[in-house]
Amino acid sequence: MTASIKTFPPQFFDEIAEMLRSLDGKSFSGLIEMKGQLPPAYRMSYRDREKGYMLVYGGANFFAPLVEQHLAENLRISHALYDISRMRPVAELLRPRA
């Protein structure tokens, strides 16, 4: 199971909550928690204290197999970009080599 923390300006809390209620479940598994202020444990800098946040399932599901198959230990999607044309399907990685 993967989860993602997304931050946003707190003045948009009501708008974002409404958008989340209107999403279908195909690409968004569900909201775990949403608040108008980022808790101290999640803050990376002093600027983060003024941000709202939501914790959602499915924030990085396309990359979850990298962690689940122990191909990546600490995956930070927002800190790196992956060239998808260089990636292979997970099933191809799991096939026994001849």
pLDDT digits (tens, 9 = 90+) for 23-74: 666 555 666 667 666 666 666 666 666 777 666 665 445 666 666 777 767 6
Whether residue 6 contacts residue 56, with contact meaning beta carbons closer than 8 Å, is answered with: yes
pTM tops 0.75 = no
Q: H or E stretch including 71?
A: none
